[in-house]
Amino acid sequence: MTPSRFEHDYGFRRDAVRHDNWRDAPWNVWAFRHVHELIPTARIVATSGLAEEPKADADALTQHEFTFDGERRTVASVLRQTSTDAITVMRAGRFVADFHAPHFTLQTRHIMFSASKSVAGLLAGMLVGDGLLDPDAPVAHYVPELARSAFGDARVQHVLDMRTSLDFNEDYLDPDGLYARYRRAGQFDPPREGEPRQTVIELLASLTKGAGDHGGPFHYCSPNSDVLGLVIERASGERYADFAATRLWQPLGLRHDGCVTVDIEGTARSGGGLCMAVRDLARIGELVRLGGMVGERRLIPAAWIDDTRCGGSAEAWRQGSFSAWLPNGRYRNKWYQVGNASGACFAIGIHGQWLYVDPLRETVIAKFSSQPDPTNDAVKFLNLALFEAIAAMK
């Protein structure tokens, strides 16, 4: 039998990609670009009729060499090593390089996983500017269903900074733990036979506190960001996808519709379910670089962007579990700070999703990948070295 076009392009049949294996290699290469065919999503509507600029040449980028771990490497070799699906580079507001893996285009949407959290942080900042959200208010003020959960005595800022006390282990490879139940609630995994279906809010309401108080060390737990999505919905009075459309996608001039995965009740997975085009992700990074401005219009308060890029507790970070791979970092309002001389900050998602903003060198880099492992510190080091090298290019 002659292979189908799909099988010719990807090396496997479409029916090989299932709800229970879509994050595994090699199927993730296709699945990360077609999440809407596997999981229910809500559409984030862009302004129609905005033309995309032509693709920029990537040769100068891919041929560039830099030193990492004592070895000279080309950007092209690092892109292969890190399973890159797409990377786009902006310099002083212009697209200067676009690299795409086979069968990826300027229109292709890709899941961002936890880089979604950083978008939620920007949306929260808009509501703070509107006077509709108080970061010091209790979470339960906005989402009373969580009053008896671990979040019952947490403040919104604790959620924004991953400084809640939660009895929760973010183990991506444990099929039987609490994180796997969290994924099933968000429809990232199929339901288990005989197990009652949970919604995202039911899962969040069932979480209990850890040993310490809120406001302690940085403790990475994705449910914080789904709580933030609920806070955004309640404070704005809009569905998450609709608020993102009217306050970010459309005024920023994003060229392509996005989408966000939803649970069985339609609750958005704001902590990991956003899908969008790579250039549109870079445009969000450019908004951060410009301090919340697009043209003459302010979308996000300057004070929120300044706090996101420079605030946060260095001590909370040092005491947290991520300081080994980012020793000089901080975490504020769902964004990571590198702690380098350029004042760079970034968003990151499992399997290699990145948005890197270097204000001093006027550089924004958006990168989508289909790395086989959810997380790998050595690959994070390599990606950060890649972004530093690109930002330093003349």
Positions marked catalytic = 114
Distance, CA of 351 to CA of 369 (rounded, Å): 6
Please enumerate in sequence order all residues whose Cβ is within 8 A of that of 347, keeping only pairs 6 or more positions apart, or say none: 112, 114, 115, 117, 118, 119, 334, 335, 336, 353, 354, 355
Tokens representing 272?
């990991």
345: left (phi over 0), alpha (psi -120 to 50) or beta: beta
C-beta separation of 113 from 272 below 8 A: yes
Q: What is the DSSP string of 88-122?
A: EEEETTEEEEEEE-TT--TT-EEE-TTHHHHHHHH
Helix or strand run (H / E) with residue 182: helix 178-185
**To 10 degrees, the CA torsion angle through 68, 69, 72, 77?**
-70
**To 10 degrees, the CA torsion angle through 386, 115, 173, 151?**
140
CA distances from residue 238 to 72, 116, 139, 207, 233 in whole angstroms, order as listed: 50, 18, 17, 25, 5
**DSSP letter assigned to residue 35:** G
Distance, CA of 254 to CA of 281 (rounded, Å): 9
Tokens representing 18?
């299932």
Distance, CA of 228 to CA of 272 (rounded, Å): 12
**DSSP letter assigned to residue 54:** P
HEC per residue, 313-328? CHHHHHCCCCCCCCCC
Cα Rg of the chain, angstroms: 20
